[in-house]
Structure 1
Amino acid sequence: MFPWFAVGHMTLFPHLSNRLAERDCFITFLLPAKAIQQLQHFNLHPHLITFQPLTVPHVDGLPTGTQTASDIPIQLNHLLATALDRTRDQVETVIYDIRPKLVNVAHWVPEITKLLGIEAINYSVVSAASIAIVLVPARNVPKDRAITEAELLPFGEGITFYERIPKAMKTSDALAIRTCHETEGQLCDYIGSQYGKSVFLTRHVLPEPSKRPLEDRWCKWLSGFQRGSVVFCAFGSQIILEKNQFQELVLGFELTGLPFLVALKPPKGASTVEEALPEGFEERVKGRGVVRGAWVQQLMILDHPSVGCFVNHCGFGSMWESLMSDCQLVLVPHLGDQILNARFMAQDGWFSKESLSKAIHSVMNKGSAVGSILKENHRKWREMLENKGSMSSYVDKFVQNMQQLVK
């Protein structure tokens, strides 16, 4: 497995690997050394799942020591793609040494695997909707639609993002997507017909309940509030807001009158979240509001009984993980696939403190008609996701598909 060097992407691969290891599959991960430290605790089968460290080369324009997308603003992702591509010699050496049956691909990996008779499979951890709308051949023709600035910019050396992903899909022997027939079956069929390849589905492989306890500081703080009363907010490892958006967001939480815990990176132009807070904010929310600029245990916080609402950026991984909790959701997407996931916000991702406060109250107020509908929908999704029999059958089928591919 050789995922994109973003924590939100890399984290999803160990969850699938654990399910495959339960079926006696051997998996080797190719990851930056820093990422191995972050993901090691997800490995439930170390005798079958091994982590192979990659040295991420320096690329001019990247801060020294950059290894993952969490180390940089999203505007520098194209340079991280160049760094990933420059690990090719290391990746090729590992593939030659262990001769796997299957390799998850970057766009250049099939050039290596085809020489060795190894199959390449493209595993996508974004929604099938995102792929179907943007990355299928029929829609990836600039003369037939408006060309965005992002499409013209390199994403790696000599290749754009909108060339990179389709190339990986076209040159792979099969496609795999982290979704299920119940939610995106028709879109998956469309993608398969566009690329002329089999599409294997893994369902939304979710992590096993963590055995690590929630940090004592957060456990004590959250326990000081009534059940289901706290609003928790996290926007992932890469979203960095403009200062005015950041201030509008935290003022929205203040406006709710509810207790809240916000975990965000400092906004642009600020070295800490504290220096970017609105004047007088900390004094006004003292005792009921915390804004944190460092990583927190998201899944364990969502499981705490005091947390009743999760305000998130609707990354594909966070979206499905959040449905496994009892929290109501308020979605504030920022990037293209997040907007597709949420189908909620305007194209620039702007929000006002009033609209945020109103959205939170609409899902948390017990007498709210909207909240009742959303709560029932949430319950149905959670039942579907918690169906262990369905999850197991999807993974069994995925393993059978892989076995047939390598025969």
Structure 2
Amino acid sequence: MAQAESERMRVVMFPWLAHGHISPYLELAKRLIASASDGHHHLDVVVHLVSTPANLAPLARHQTDRLRLVELHLPVLPDLPPALHTTKGLPARLMPVLKRGVPAVHFATCGAAATAFFIHCLKTDHRPSSAFPFKSISLGGVDEDAKYTALVAVREDSTALVPERDRLPLSLERSSGFVAVKTCADIERKYMDYLSQLLGKEIIPTGPLLVDSGGSEEQRDGGRIMRWLDGEEPGSVVFVSFGSEYFMSERQMAQMARGLELSGVPFLWAVRFPNAEDDARGAARSMPPGFAPARGLVVEGWASQRRILSHPSCGAFLTHCGWSSVLESMAEGVPMVALPLHIDQPLNANLAVELGAAAARVKQERSGEFAAEEVARAMRAAVKGKEGEAARRRARELREVVARNNGDGRQIATLLQRMARLCGKGQAVPN
């Protein structure tokens, strides 16, 4: 076939205003551009990534002629200055409304299991026959699933353009013919199939979209973390982190600190505190008084999660089970200690248990309520118990699965092909 002239395809990406959502969008943008540039698609892809200045400022170094950062300026309100135009405190009325006539694709940054769960629960009338069909993911049956969905997704706001419970279903409904999901078919195939059945749309996995852990940013701590890990025995350390969007209460911090000490296991705890008084309700703003761990290292603020997980001394990951953290843990072959706190995290934790990727789970009386003794028990089981041995074997298997999916350019090529067809472009793209 004769070499065809390249067609330009412009892609607008509009992620939710949170770092945990923007990061996978950024990685997907880079891979779409790279896939289009490999010479086989006859497409010149330009991605416009839209967010507020507060979210885009840290991404400035990623901007190129094909990856353009577009600032969205929200109204400046007394309680919402530009510096806070991010996840925290964003009024519901500022949620975006899709433009008519522009092909749009919903990109789910959480997994297929969690997305299918919420869509099932939001669509069903909760009769006994309407139970979520995967018991391993369910939170305890129809009633418990309905209660949790109502807690997470059915808040009422009289100022909202779209009711809370309708946002996810409506966004998926408006997705043009298919839905992209940050996942691996080898891990979530049955959940992808069920989500496709619920939506009547094709589900296209993008792979895990793992961000390279190399670069100068890893050295901003002066190498202190790596030096500390170098001094520990292989597989002995539990890495403790609860993501970039959740701040623990004082009680949670106290229980976690005591649990880490009770475990007798070396640990590396990456902890964050809110910057503004209204940034997180009831959040702790300092370490518990008197907490001076003999066998651990506490890092406040930034820490390179993948780089820590890949270190030989890292034997387990005590995690909130955010979807990116679950995938990164599997990518590095590190078993998880699951302590889910909210939103999709309990569902991701259940999936990790089903896959054999979780060595233990911290028992909770209610969501977010855990005791120090349970933290210590789960950590010891993960590092020293039979559960940990089995999970480490399974983690090594999953590492190969995730690596294969992360490096498989065919998934991104498939997504690029479908997007091009929506725009009436890329007719030369091979099937």
Q: When the two structures are aligned, how many residues end up with a matched partner?
A: 362
Return the offset for 1:232. 1.7
Q: How far, CA to CA, are the matches of 1:387 and 1:49 in structure 2?
A: 26
For normalisation by structure 1, the TM-score amounts to 0.80
Structure 2 counterpart of 1:199, which letter?
A: I
**Corresponding residue of 2:14:** 2
Match of 2:409 among 384, 392, 399: 392
Superposed displacement of residue 354, structure 1: 1.7
2:208 aligned to 199, 204, 208, which one? 204
The CA distance in 1 between the partners of 2:69 and 2:416, in whole Å, is 21
Please point out which of 82, 86, 89 is paired with 2:93: 82
| Superposed CA offset, 1:1-47 (max 9, x none) | 10001111111111111211112322110022122232345x3x823
Q: Is the contact between residue 208 and residue 406 of structure 2 (CA under 8 Å) also seen in structure 1?
A: no
Letter aligned with residue 345 of structure 2:
Q
Q: 1:54 and 2:72 equivalent?
A: yes
Q: Aligned-pair RMSD on alpha carbons?
A: 2.7
In structure 2, distance between residues paired with 1:300 and 1:329? 16
Match of 1:260 in 2: 267
Task: For residue 153 of structure 1, report the CA deviation from its aligned partner.
Answer: 1.9
Does the residue aligned with 1:26 lie in a helix, a strand or coil? strand
Report the AA paired with residue 383 of structure 1.
E
Normalised to the residue count of structure 2, the TM-score between the two structures is 0.76
Residue 68 of structure 1 is matched in structure 2 by: 86
1:113-159, CA deviations, whole angstroms, 9 ceiling, x for partnerless residues? 41xxx3111111111112212224x7425675756355142397243
Structure 1, residues 76-98: CA drift from partner, whole Å, max 9, x if none? Answer: 4xx34434x3xxxxxxxxxxxxx
From 373, 379, 382, give the equivalent of 1:354: 373
| Counterpart for residue 23 of structure 1 | 35
Structure with greater contact order relative to length (CA < 8 Å, sep ≥ 6): 2
Q: Secondary structure at the match of 1:23?
A: helix
Q: 1:234 to 1:57 in 2, by over 3 A?
A: farther
Matched, 1:11 2:23: yes
Gaps of 5+ in 1: 86-105
Q: Secondary structure of 1:291's partner?
A: strand
Q: Give the Cα–Cα distance (whole angstroms) in 2 for the partners of residues 357 and 332 of structure 1.
A: 12
Aligned letter for 1:290?
L
* C-alpha distance 149-298 of structure 1, shift in aligned 2 (>3 A): closer
Residues 1:155 and 1:30: Cα distance change in structure 2 (over 3 Å): farther
Structure 2 residue 186 is matched with structure 1 residue 182? yes
Cα offsets for 1:274-316 (capped at 9, x unmatched): 3xx14x322xx24x33334422222222233333222111001
Superposed CA deviations along residues 335-386 of structure 1, whole A, max 9, x for unmatched, are 1310000025545232222221121121212xx3211210111111100111
Question: 5+ unaligned residues in a row in structure 2: which ranges?
Answer: 1-12, 37-44, 128-142, 275-280, 351-360, 425-431
CA distance in 1, matches of 2:168, 2:158: 10
> Distance in 2 between the 1:16 and 1:230 partners?
32
Corresponding residue for 1:135? 119
Distance in 1 (alpha carbons) for counterparts of 2:392 and 2:335: 7
Distance 1:356 1:271 in 2: 19
Distance 2:246 2:56 in 1: 22
Deviations 1:154-206 (A, max 9, x none): 39724332211111111221321112322222332332333333322212221
**What one-letter code is carried by the residue in structure 1 that aligns with 2:25?**
F
**Residues 30 and 388 from structure 1, CA distance in 2 versus in 1: closer, same or farther, beyond 3 angstroms?**
same
User: What displacement does 1:269 show?
Assistant: 4.6
CA 1:236 to 1:243, structure 2 compared with 1: closer, same or farther past 3 Å? same
Correspondent of 1:239 among 222, 232, 246 = 246
Residue pair 1:59, 1:82 contacting (<8 A) in 2 also: no
1:39 to 49, 59, 62: 59
The one-letter code matched in structure 2 to 1:190 is Y
Alignment check: 8 A CA contact 1:9 1:125 kept:
yes
1:389 and 1:221, CA in 2 relative to 1: closer, same or farther beyond 3 A?
Answer: closer
Cα gap change, 1:244 to 1:38, in 2 (>3 Å): same
Q: Which residue of 165, 169, 172 maps to 1:166?
A: 169
- Give the secondary-structure state (helix, strand or coil) at the position aligned to 2:239: strand
Structure 1 residues 252 and 156, CA, compared in 2 at 3 Å: closer, same or farther? farther
Give me the whole-angstrom Cα distance separating, in 2, the residues matched to 1:379 and 1:53.
Answer: 42
CA distance in 2, matches of 1:68, 1:49: 21
Letter in 2 for 1:246: M
Contact 1:124 1:177 in 2 (8 A): yes
Larger proportion of helix: 1
1:155–1:161 contact (8 Å) kept in structure 2 = no
The match for 2:324 is 317
Distance 1:262 1:406 in 2: 47
